[in-house]
Structure 1
Amino acid sequence: MKIKALLSILLFVVGILSVDAGNPFRRNKGFELEDSLMVDSTGRVVTTKVKKKKVFVRPERIDRGIMEEVFIPKGQWMAGGTISYSEHNEDNLNFIVLKDIDARGYDFTVNVYGGYFIKNNVAAGLRMSYNRTYQDLGNFELNLGEDFNIALDNVYYLQHEYNVAGFIRTYMPIGHSKIFGLFNEARITYGYARGKNSTGSGTQYDGTFQTVHSLGIGIAPGMSAFITNWSAVEVSVGVMGFDFNWVKQRTNQVEHGKRRTSSGNFKINLFSINIGMTFYL
């Protein structure tokens, strides 16, 4: 064992010396040896080694012609918001394999945000949003043949969700334009939601209450177009990043359940395009 240990140490030292000897930055401390012809006192021509100082030349930086343009100057404020509402109502609707659909519901969302430009083309700010989702399914049948039928009735769902997010947004003008520019928003979002859902009625009634905590880390690229000196139309393609959710449930005030999910999404979804107005003060 001692012999193996000594051999290992010897090989390690030899390896270090060989690497050091092959390193041009360590050999001769910045000098290199060069052959030189000289004549000695007897008149013979001899070859000697002389040290010649090395000269290291840095590669020239490529000038890509990219110049910083001020699209939105430091010291300005930005503010904006969006409101969305959608509603549906089905009465005895039949669609392919879906039969006798009796349902109604709506989805309401309000979102406000504001920020301050801490330097040219860079803003830091805060977003807050509220979402209310309501679904009331009176009757629903899925008919895939005589051997496979699913029927649901008296299904109720209601949820309130609150979100707060901090963001950093950077702008880049398109060419030398003062009207059209691209932006990218990096944000961290915390969400809290409370909801309840129930099925059946009478003695067959089941009710579940749940609380949801969520955390999102992502980016939202987009484009801005000024229509006046103080307002712009903005188009973004949704948030790409990571999402984490923690759900706790309580059914019939007796049973308890938990669920944790995490996901990552870096695909651009053209069906989740957001359009809004932002004001610069």
Structure 2
Amino acid sequence: MKEIKKHNMLRIKLGYFFSFICFSTVMAQTDHVENPDDYFLNKGKVYAGITFSFDNSNVENEDRLIVFIEDRKNNSFDLKVHTGYFIRKNWAVGGLINYTSSDRTGVDISTQNISSQVNIASKSWGIYGTTKFYIPLESRNRFFLFTEVLAGGSFANQLKESTAYGILTRTFVEDRSAEIRFVPGIMVKVIRGFSVEAGAQIAGINAKWSNTSVNNVLYSKKESVSTNLSINLLRLSLGFYYYFDLKTKPL
């Protein structure tokens, strides 16, 4: 069941992406031939963009390895705001702010047949510096490959409340991390000044510091450094971007 859900999610995300590609190709046919001086990735241009995702799901009677999920509701939202400046043709530097919020409520039954009401709420913020390189795929400058490198940090807080046999246990986790990410993808120019991008993280280096408290008493501290060299298409992200010039052209 879990694998089916993952494959369905992947098909939906890929379906959205290819729909954008088809739509962008049609719209591009109505766009006039671009003056080289107006090339939208020229030095001095600025871009602003937004990437978002959300999940609203419900799971009932699902048997997992160490727990049976009697009922679970998940709500999550992820928002990324991008901005950048082209220091050279096809090469931009900028920044990214990332906000994530998630809530989970439900009833879990452990392998010892203990039923627990579980509520989990988490929020995180991330701030990153970015550099982005574009490679045109054809002469009309409609399609581009890009590689983005992000370096920065994030902080996240999670509160878990678990009630079993009338006893409430509150676990608070505080995470701080510094990381580098590598995100390749494809960009499609839709109409003049606007584009759609799709990318997936293929590599990353992450250093994390975590403090865990149980019922307001410090329980553990953890430090870790990890690398990730896998491609996760389930984390495919779609972004909408606008490119413009800060200088007003004379009439």
TM-score range (shorter-chain normalised) is 0.7 to 0.9
- Find the counterpart in structure 2 of residue 194 from structure 1: 157
Between 1 and 2, higher relative CO (CA 8 Å, sep ≥ 6) is seen in: 2
Alignment of 1:94 with 2:70, yes or no, is no
- Find the counterpart in structure 1 of residue 33 from structure 2: none
- Per the TM alignment, residue 266 of structure 1 is displaced from its structure 2 partner at its CA by 2.0
- Per the TM alignment, residue 75 of structure 1 is displaced from its structure 2 partner at its CA by 0.7
Alignment of 1:78 with 2:41, yes or no, is no
Q: Is the 8 A contact 2:144 2:187 kept in 1?
A: yes
Going from structure 1 to structure 2, the CA distance change for 1:169 and 1:193 (only over 3 Å counts) comes to: same
Alignment of 1:234 with 2:203, yes or no, is no
For 1:251, the aligned partner's letter is V
Taking the aligned partners of 1:197 and 1:177, their CA distance within structure 2 comes to 53
Taking the aligned partners of 2:96 and 2:69, their CA distance within structure 1 comes to 42
Structure 2 unaligned runs (5+)?
1-38, 245-251
Taking the aligned partners of 2:221 and 2:68, their CA distance within structure 1 comes to 33
TM-score normalised per structure 1: 0.67
- Per the TM alignment, residue 72 of structure 1 is displaced from its structure 2 partner at its CA by 1.5
SS in structure 2 of the partner of residue 205 of structure 1: strand
Taking the aligned partners of 2:109 and 2:165, their CA distance within structure 1 comes to 21
TM-score normalised per structure 2: 0.74
Taking the aligned partners of 1:169 and 1:232, their CA distance within structure 2 comes to 15
Alignment of 1:206 with 2:169, yes or no, is yes
SS in structure 2 of the partner of residue 271 of structure 1: helix
How many residues matched?
204
Going from structure 1 to structure 2, the CA distance change for 1:129 and 1:100 (only over 3 Å counts) comes to: closer
Taking the aligned partners of 1:85 and 1:218, their CA distance within structure 2 comes to 21
Match for residue 109 of structure 2 among 127, 130, 141: 141
- Per the TM alignment, residue 71 of structure 1 is displaced from its structure 2 partner at its CA by 7.0
Q: CA RMSD in A?
A: 2.2
For 2:108, the aligned partner's letter is F
Going from structure 1 to structure 2, the CA distance change for 1:198 and 1:96 (only over 3 Å counts) comes to: closer
Match for residue 81 of structure 2 among 112, 130, 134: 112
- Per the TM alignment, residue 177 of structure 1 is displaced from its structure 2 partner at its CA by 3.8
Q: Is the 8 A contact 2:146 2:187 kept in 1?
A: yes
- Per the TM alignment, residue 149 of structure 1 is displaced from its structure 2 partner at its CA by 4.4
- Find the counterpart in structure 1 of residue 206 from structure 2: 243
- Per the TM alignment, residue 175 of structure 1 is displaced from its structure 2 partner at its CA by 4.1
Match for residue 146 of structure 2 among 164, 176, 183: 183
Taking the aligned partners of 2:229 and 2:160, their CA distance within structure 1 comes to 32
For 2:52, the aligned partner's letter is I
SS in structure 2 of the partner of residue 227 of structure 1: strand
- Find the counterpart in structure 2 of residue 262 from structure 1: 225
Going from structure 1 to structure 2, the CA distance change for 1:72 and 1:255 (only over 3 Å counts) comes to: closer
Q: Is the 8 A contact 1:71 1:121 kept in 2?
A: no
Going from structure 1 to structure 2, the CA distance change for 1:259 and 1:163 (only over 3 Å counts) comes to: same
- Find the counterpart in structure 1 of residue 17 from structure 2: none
Going from structure 1 to structure 2, the CA distance change for 1:183 and 1:107 (only over 3 Å counts) comes to: same
Structure 1 residue runs of 4 or more that deviate by more than 4 Å after TM superposition? 96-100
Q: Is the 8 A contact 1:71 1:171 kept in 2?
A: no
Taking the aligned partners of 2:168 and 2:118, their CA distance within structure 1 comes to 10
- Per the TM alignment, residue 83 of structure 1 is displaced from its structure 2 partner at its CA by 2.5
Q: Is the 8 A contact 2:114 2:164 kept in 1?
A: no
**1:145-202 CA distances to partner (integer Å, 9 max, x unpaired)?**
xxx5443411121111000110000111114341111111111021011121121258
Indicate the structure (1 or 2) with the bigger Cα radius of gyration: 1
- Find the counterpart in structure 1 of residue 239 from structure 2: 276
